[in-house]
Every structure is written in structure tokens, then in C-alpha cells.
Structure 1
Amino acid sequence: MGDLLFLAHRIPYPPDKGDKIRSWNILKYVAARAPVHLCAFVDDPEDMKHEAFLASICKSVKLIPMDPKDRLKRAWAGWRKGEALSVSLFDDRAMKRWVWDRVKQNDIDRMFVFSSQMAPYALGHTSQDRRLVMDFVDIDSDKFAQYAKESRWPKSWLYAREAKLLQAYEKQVARHVDVSLFVSDAETAMFRRIAGSYAHSVDTLHNGVDLAYFSPDAAFAPLGDEAGPKLVFTGAMDYRPNIDAVCWFADAILPRVRKRYPQARFLVVGGKPSPEVQALAAREGIVVTGRVPDVRPYVAAADVAVAPVRIARGVQNKVLEAMAMARPVVATEAAWSGIDAAPERDLLVRRDAESFADAVCAVLDDPALAARLAGNGRQQVESRYAWNAQLAKLDGWLGLGAADSKVEAA
């Protein structure tokens, strides 16, 4: 077998946010089984320091910094051409040249593309002898359709435009690749309905959890034991669904909880908090941490891990990680959707602010309930969400060989 080209819209390491957790685990899995050429964009200059580590597990690595100054030019160029802006923002000459050189100079017979924005770089190199696996992860067009419904004009119009153009683009990509992957069975079924005959080969590649890392028994420095119940939310805090989630919780749910538990504190844990999220820190009972080196101390300290996500796609890693850490979880239906876990047994699922607050208080009221949810949640992810079990499907799709134990241990 030849080499494998791995393209990602964001550097897969460190795995400190949802998409990078998935891309890193996939990269590590395939790099242990095939020579990999990795090319990815970098949106955080701090992440460039990980290039040497990635080079230690890949045959070659190319990281391309995303210059914020170029975003407006690329968006304008895409607008003039009638393209989806999500795609035009990733149109880069250096990426095109590097991919062309890799394919020309190496025996690349497999390509794995992570996120639909990267598809144009691979579609120009398809052939009968080169297998192309496209990991859409989520249906981005449907996400923008949700944004359009939740927004006022002119944003609603812009989001609706993006949803329409992206849907047409996603269908064309699926038409030309060998396999289209999505993160949940619900996403897979929805795409089959949307794409029709274009979705000729579609399957689900579920997320997993690093059960040794996200374990209540793992070695990490505990969080200081401060008074009052801790309600913890983790996630990238420049991502619109997460911003909406924590603002809704702060406005509509936390006040109800604090009527019963005045010392309760809401910890918002995640990098790049938006101005709206930063403003929450001025409120009593709310802590906004920004980026932290390790989320586990915060999750482990949670009396309740909350996932009040109203705009959601795919699988919420924050829910899986909290369950793996044996913490009781209260989530919305949107946050729970796509996760193989039973409401009332493994976690509590609620629809509106009042019932969500009541569920949080119920867990705080009843240590036995908290312990039952925590234990059942951990047991469920152990039985259902080990990464290697999920990623074994890649062996057939990409023709992978035996694993290199040194890379697997990275």
C-alpha cells in the first residue's frame, strides 16, 4: 500500500476542542497504520509549537497559519463568485501547492479529508486508484439553517444564503468521494434524505472518549475546594452554539437554581470567550476561566455538568467527557441527541429553562441520584465509546495495516 494524505481545516493537536478531539484521534489511529502526510491550517499561533510533535508521528507535515487579514479578501472573492463563505475562507494557494507536490512526489493512494472546507484540495486528485474518504462530521448547511431561524435580518438572510449554497456544495462533494462520514446516525440519516442519489456511500463514524485520560481515577491536580455547588460547562467559547448555551443558562436557568442554592456557581470553561461570554463574569456566581491547560479538574469538581445547548449538530463531546469522568449530567435534547445514552438512567434530559433548573436542583438535592447518574454514565461510555472500537471502521475504508504501538501511545 502507498501513503495517506490527511487534510484538516484546523491543526488536530492539541485536542482541546470538539473538532480537534475527533481529528486528533483519527490522525493518531491512521498514522499508526500507514505513512501519513498531514496538511492543516492553524488558527491559533500558539498551536504552531506542536509541529515537531506531529512530525514525529507523520511522514511529512505542513502547517499553514490563517492570517486574519486574508479572511475579508477571501470572503469577498467567494461572495463575488457566489460561493459558500465557509468554503471560500479556506481557499489558499500554499495549501494547493503543497497538496499538488505531495501527490506528485509520493505514492499516495488514500486521502482522508476532515471537514468539507478541505474537499476542494482533494477533489482535484481523485482517480480510480486513489481512495477518498470525506469526514463531514456534521451537516454544516443545516447548522446555518438553524442560525437563520434564530437570527434577525440581515444575519438571517446571510445565514440562509450560506445554508443554501453549502447544501448544494455538500451534495456535490458527496457525489465525488468514495465514502461520506458523519458523527451520528441522526446526521447520516438526515444527509441521506437531503442528498438523495448524491449520497451514494454514506456511513457513521461515531466519536469516542479517551477513557484512561477522562477518568475519575486519572492523575491530575484537583481544583481548589471552594464553597457552594459547582455547575460546569466546557467548550470552545467563541463557537456560536456554546455562546448561546451559556448565555441562556446564565439568564434563564442559573437564577432559578440560585434561589434554591444561593452559593451555586456556574463555571464556564473554555478558550477564546466572546465578548458576550466575558461579560457574564461580572455577574454574581459566574466564573469565566478562558483557556485552561486541563479541563479535567473542572469537570471532576462539577456537582453537575451542564449542557444547555440549544443549537447543536452531531455529538457533544462535553457530554461524553463528563459522563466518562463519572459526573452527573443535565442536558438539553439537542445536546443529548446523537449520544447512545438513556435519559433518566445515564443523564437527565430537559427541554426548557424551568425543567432544566429543576433537574439541576434534583441532582443537588439527592446524592443518591447524583451517584447513580455518575456511575451509569461512566459505565455507558466504557461500553459504547472507546476510540479504537469506533475507529476500526477506518481499516476497511482506507486499507489500513497493523498498528505501530509507539504511535498509538503518542
Structure 2
Amino acid sequence: MGEILFLAHRVPFPPDRGDKIRSHHLLKGLGKLGPVHVGTFGETSQDMAQKSALALVAKTHALIERTKPLPQAGIEAVLKGKPVSLTAFDHAAMRRYVAKTLGNHRIDTIFVFSSQMGQYIPDDFAGRVVIDLCDVDSAKFEAYAHAGQRRWINRREGRLLATEEARLANRADTTLLISDSEAALFRSRIDGLEEADIRALGNGIDAEFFDPAHVPVQPDLEEGEGPQLLFTGQMDYPPNVAAAEWVIENVMPELRKMHDRARFHIVGRAPVASLKNRHGENGVRVWGEVPDVRSFLKSADLVVAPLLIARGVQNKVLEAMAMAKAIVLTPGAATGIEAKDDVHFAVARPEAPEMLRRIATLLADEGKRAEMGRAARDFVLANMSWDSVHIELERLLVSGDTGRDAV
């Protein structure tokens, strides 16, 4: 195939958070198919230090620093009648890079990662357009509003994003979602998509990297006398914050009545103040960012993922499974992973008695935890490798297996 322009709202290096993990591995898969040009944004000094990494995989690249404050983006969005998500990533330098790349190179395919970047597809581009929405972001903002979080702002964002998602799906040759259930949700919410090609392309896991045989233990967890529970994730992301706080308030007080030295470890960058303030309460330990989450996964007795609002496939769940850990999770956190309850993981409704029962049952049975962990790792090895995702990506792009004729 010809050359590819890959547009991502966050630089795909290092692959250390959910969206970056997916964009990183999709970029690697695209690089196997042809020359790739990358336009992306950075927000931190670590992000902006990734130019050398981009240069190794991209024929050309633009890593543009995104400095627009969110309040400014919000004001602009209201004045223009646009979603804040799009306004925050609207940058003249990115438009110049896209125009220059299309003018100087034979770009056959524009691959857009996330709805924020769809605004950069020129109306007159005649080649193939593939858009990876990952999740239905409009539904996520509606869920935030329903949960009482900034109701007016999130309702508005959900409504305007739904319009943009529909526009993109009708513009693209193929629109990708992260799971069959997410694709079905998208179809059910958006009118006028009868002719749109909407399909699922799942996440994978690097099971060689997440291999407990090659990971050292975490001494603090190993030395703990009581059971060690673990929750991982980006800890300024509202669904992760809500899940961790739910465990602190609804599970740990009762679990400590059974195991007075039980600990709940919250591991992940940028914990919000409300979580930091819970450090030390009912066995809670808030670690923040750590050098290697794998050692925490290896040494935990049990991993929990009680997400109340969940979109798409959860990398935190795949990582725990690859590390051969038993994990208790809500149905939302299990979405897109075709594993079996009580075999590969333990599913519990987000109700304190059921969650506590499943946690307590597994903590009382070390053999069951080990068996479930082995089954979990075997499952992801067999079914959820990034190589298999790359094969699907190749089938889509090289064979021209899209819903419309590519140019």
C-alpha cells in the first residue's frame, strides 16, 4: 500500500496509559504496512522529549506542544458552538503540517486516532480515511452528567460530540471502535449511519512484557501481613477516581473487619487531592506514579477493577490477566474481553455486598486465585496479542476490506 498519515491527539510514546498504549501499537502495526507520517500533540516535558522515538518509526513527523488552557478552550468552544474536546486540540500548526504532508507525499490513507483529530481531515482528500474512535466519547460525557458531574457542561459535550461522531462516521471509509459492544452502542445512538462501515478492532496486550516470570517482587507488598489489594490506572481520570473512592468507602471498612491488616494500594500517576487525602484511611495507600507497575501486580494478592463508568477494553484488566493475577471487576470493566466469569476473572455487580463477597472468597482460597491467574494469562496469550490486532489491521488496509471503495 501507499503512504499513511497518522494523526493522534497524544504522542504515542511512551506507551504508559490507556490511549497511548493503543495508539502506540496501532502505529507499530501501520509501520509494517508502509511509510507513516505522524502528526501528534505533546503536553508535558516527557511528551516533548519523544521526538527521537517518533523519528525511528515515522518518515516525517510533527510533535506540537499543546498549551491551550482548558478554561480558554471552554470559552472558545461556547462561542463557536463546538465541543470543548475539539477546541482544545485545534491548532494552526497541525493544520499546516497536514497540508504540507498531503502536498509533498503520496498519502493513500489518513488514519485518525480519536475524535479530536477528525477536524484535520481535509474535505477534498480523496484517499481512504479510517477513524479509530476507540470509545463512544459522547456516551461517556452523558454518563458523567447522569452521575451528577458538571451536568450542564457534560450534557453539552455529549450532545455536540455525538454530532461530530456522526459526521466522522459518514466521512470515513471505516470507523473503528474498541469492542463489538462499543460498536453496537455507537450504531444505536447515532442516526443516519445506515451506509457507514462501523466495526470493532480490539486492544491487545504485550504478554511478553507483562510476564510474571521476568518481573521482580514489590517488597512493601510482599512484607505486608494482611491481604494486599491493588487498583491501577491514571488517577486523575474521573472513572478511576470514582472506582478507587468506591472501594475505600464501601469495601475496605468491611474487609478490615475480616482482615484487620488488609491494604488497598492505589497505583498510578497524578492522583487527585481527594485520593491523596485518603492515604492511611482503612489501610489505603496512595502511591502515585511508580517506576514499574508490574512489580505491584506480581506482589498483590488480588487486583480489583470496580469501574462504575467504563468504556471499551480496560488495559488495566489485560495487564493484570497477563501477570497471572486473579482480578475482581465490574461488568463494565469486563467489556470487550470474551473471558469467562469464575474462570479467567471474577465479575461482581457494583454493589458492596457482592463485591465484598467475591473478594473475600478469593482471598480465602489461595489455590483458586492461582488457578484463576494461570487461566487468565493463558487466555490473553491465546486471544489478545497485539500481533493478532496487527493482522486485522493489515486485512482492513492492505486488502481494501472497507465499507467503501478506497482510492
TM-score normalised by the chain length of structure 2? 0.94
- Matched ranges for 1:27-46 at <5 A: 27-46=27-46
Which secondary structure does the structure 1 equivalent of 2:109 belong to? strand
Give the equivalent residue in structure 2 for 1:201: 197
Which secondary structure does the structure 2 equivalent of 1:335 belong to? helix
| CA 1:221–1:388: 2 relative to 1, 3 Å | same
Does the CA contact (< 8 Å) of 1:257 and 1:358 recur in 2? no
Give 5+ residue unaligned stretches, structure 2: 401-407
Does the CA contact (< 8 Å) of 2:51 and 2:63 recur in 1? yes
**Counterpart Cα distance in 2 of 1:186 and 1:208:** 17
| CA 1:356–1:322: 2 relative to 1, 3 Å | same
Which secondary structure does the structure 2 equivalent of 1:113 belong to? strand
Q: What root-mean-square deviation, in Å, do the aligned CA atoms of Structure 1 and Structure 2 show? A: 1.5
Give the equivalent residue in structure 1 for 2:111: 112
- Matched ranges for 1:331-410 at <5 A: 331-351=329-349, 352-399=351-398
**Counterpart Cα distance in 2 of 1:370 and 1:232:** 14
1:274 aligns with 2:267: no
Give the equivalent residue in structure 2 for 1:164: 159
Name the amino acid aligned to 1:120: Q
**Counterpart Cα distance in 1 of 2:137 and 2:275:** 23
1:72 to partner: Cα distance = 2.7
Task: Compare 41-50 and 383-392 and name the one that shifted more.
Answer: 41-50
Give the equivalent residue in structure 2 for 1:252: 250
Does the CA contact (< 8 Å) of 2:132 and 2:177 recur in 1? yes
Give the equivalent residue in structure 2 for 1:405: none
1:62-108 CA distances to partner (integer Å, 9 max, x unpaired)?
A: 11112154x33332111111111111111111111111111111111
Give the equivalent residue in structure 2 for 1:300: 298
Give the equivalent residue in structure 2 for 1:239: 237
Task: Compare 390-399 and 24-33 and name the one that shifted more.
Answer: 390-399
1:396 to partner: Cα distance = 3.0
Give the equivalent residue in structure 1 for 2:75: 76
Q: Structure 2 residue aligned with 1:139, among 136, 139, 144?
A: 136
Does the CA contact (< 8 Å) of 1:307 and 1:331 recur in 2? yes
1:288 to partner: Cα distance = 1.3
1:176 aligns with 2:171: yes
Name the amino acid aligned to 2:106: D
Q: Structure 1 residue aligned with 2:210, among 203, 210, 214?
A: 214
Which secondary structure does the structure 1 equivalent of 2:277 belong to? helix
| CA 1:252–1:120: 2 relative to 1, 3 Å | same
**Counterpart Cα distance in 2 of 1:172 and 1:204:** 18
1:189 aligns with 2:184: yes
- Matched ranges for 1:111-130 at <5 A: 111-127=110-126, 130=127
Give the equivalent residue in structure 2 for 1:404: none
1:121-156 CA distances to partner (integer Å, 9 max, x unpaired)?
A: 1243521xx11100000000000111111016xx11
1:271 to partner: Cα distance = 0.7
1:285 aligns with 2:280: no
1:162 to partner: Cα distance = 1.1
Give the equivalent residue in structure 1 for 2:403: none
1:257-289 CA distances to partner (integer Å, 9 max, x unpaired)?
A: 111111111111111111112212142411111
Name the amino acid aligned to 2:2: G
Aligned residues: 395
1:161 to partner: Cα distance = 1.2
**Counterpart Cα distance in 1 of 2:72 and 2:151:** 22
**Counterpart Cα distance in 2 of 1:68 and 1:44:** 13
Give the equivalent residue in structure 2 for 1:66: 66
Name the amino acid aligned to 1:340: E
| CA 1:356–1:123: 2 relative to 1, 3 Å | farther
Does the CA contact (< 8 Å) of 2:68 and 2:88 recur in 1? no
1:196 to partner: Cα distance = 4.0
**Counterpart Cα distance in 2 of 1:40 and 1:339:** 29
Give 5+ residue unaligned stretches, structure 1: 402-410
